[in-house]
Amino acid sequence: MLVSACLLGINCKYNGENNYNQRIVDLMKNERVIPVCPEQLGGLTTPRLPCEIVMRDGEKRVIRKDGVDVTEEFSKGAVETLKIARMFDESIAILKTKSPSCGSCHIYDGSFGGEVIKGSGLTAGLLADNDIRVFDEDNFSPEIVDRH
């Protein structure tokens, strides 16, 4: 199962910290877990400036807080994450909610004001488009592990 590395306590979050989630760690104790950080796989450093998705000319663009477009790096990270999923024949991913890479149900609205909207990050969207079931830490349950 692919899991956002930050949820497992790996310090790869934009601010150099993590999003450790004891519930996810407990659920994964007896599973094969492949930690992924699409931002790092795309070549971004840790720490890095916060990024959010905005719509420009009808397409999703990932923009840093200082206005720099980092869509290319986020797209590369999504593709690399998909390669890992295919390499290990993974069909489920548990990713970090609200992330411009990993958000599967909700993402920040692009204003850097903390507002959340329905939507998916680049990696979550690419995985879902390739028949990988994507969950976030809030909508993942033990029953999913049991059926895996």
- What is the pTM for the complete model shown? 0.94
What is the pLDDT confidence band of residue 141, given thresholds at 50, 70 and 90? confident
pLDDT for the residue 147: 56
Determine the Cα–Cα distance for residues 39 and 12; give it in Å rounded to an integer: 8
Question: In terms of residue numbers, what domain contains 25?
Answer: 2-147
Tens-place pLDDT, residues 86-132: 999 999 999 999 999 999 999 999 999 999 999 999 999 999 999 99
User: Is the pLDDT at 57 greater than 70, yes or no?
Assistant: yes
How many domains in the chain? 1
Which of 6-10, 88-92, 114-118, 144-148 is predicted least confidently? 144-148
**Among candidate residues 57, 42, 56, the one with its CA nearest the CA of residue 110:** 56
Residue 39 neighbours by CB distance under 10 Å = 29
